[in-house]
Amino acid sequence: MELFLDTGNVEEIKELVDILQVDGVTTNPTIVSRSGKRFTDLIKEISDIVGEDRAIHCQVVSRDFDGMIEEAEFINGLHKNIYVKIPVTHQGLKAIKELTKRGIKTTATAVFTAHQATLAAKAGAKYIAPYVNRLDNISGNGVSVVKQIINIIEKHNFDSKVLAASFKNAQQVIEIIEHGVHSVTVPTDVLDKMTCHPLTDYSVDKFIEDWENAYGEGIKTTD
Ligand code: G3P
């Protein structure tokens, strides 16, 4: 299973790439705009941190086919292992089909139904990114849509991976992982909730207290 960071905060990316086994970074126009940086500067900074083997997913902002293709060609040159995110609209599907023909890797994004996912996979998208929390927010069931998409991709042997996105809590993430999702992209606040537990902190404190009461110092490593 792949783990991506859904953020454009370079300090967070630096820290988390150091701590966790991270497979790449996903951005979108909102994430880029929040960074306050020039688009190309931000992608360069992220690229320098993650290295050329980890993936970066970067989104187009045009709505029309020609604009999407032009932006995708540009984005494709920004990093060695890059996926161009294309929203699944009519124009987007057409662009995914064309970019696949040109050998440019795409991530079909803003996916909310299994129907959209199926058509994007058929068009050649390498990743399909369904938005879990945005569905939950409108009384949908994001987790169950993702499960349905995974089943379809696997049953039909599509050459696409499911990259579940838009998470607001750790429960959404783990339910999807339990179902065998190929990849998740997680914002750093949710990753923090996945990492930390008060009982872990309590246990570590108690272990160290007991050790120090008995030996007064750490393990002697120079015996
Ligand atoms: O990367 C796109 C996706 O994760 C959007 O997330 O939190 O804006 O719904 P959010």
User: pLDDT tens for residues 138-160?
Assistant: 999 999 999 999 999 999 999 99
Tell me the average pLDDT across 160-174. 98
Residue whose CA is closest, atom 9 of ligand 1?
Answer: 166
Q: Look up 97 and say whether it is catalytic.
A: no
**Tally of structural domains, the chain:** 1
Atom of ligand 1 nearest to the CA of 28: 1
> What stretch of H or E contains 215?
helix 198-215
Residue 223 scores a pLDDT above 90 = no
Taking alpha carbons only, the member of 80, 162, 85 closest to residue 121 is 162
Alpha carbon nearest to ligand 1 atom 5, residue = 166
**Residue-number span of the structural domain to which 49 is assigned:** 2-193
Whether pTM > 0.85 for this model: the answer is: yes
Q: Name the residue at shortest CA distance from atom 4 of ligand 1.
A: 166
* CATH number of the domain within which 140 lies: 3.20.20.70
At 166, list the tokens. 């838009």
Separation of first and last alpha carbons in the chain: 41
74: in domain: yes
CB atoms within 10 A of CB 10: 16
* pLDDT over 80 (residue 180): yes
The answer to the question of residue 79 being in a domain is: yes
| pLDDT (tens digit per residue) in 116-138 | 999 999 999 999 999 999 999 99
Alpha-carbon distance of 84 to 75, in angstroms, equals: 7
Distance between CA atoms of residues 158 and 126, nearest Å? 9
Which helix (H) or strand (E) element contains residue 84? strand 82-87
131 lines ligand 1 (CB under 6 A): yes
| Tens digits of residue pLDDT in 188-205 | 999 999 999 999 999 999
Task: Look at residue 132 and tell me if it is in a domain.
Answer: yes
Residue 128 domain flag = yes
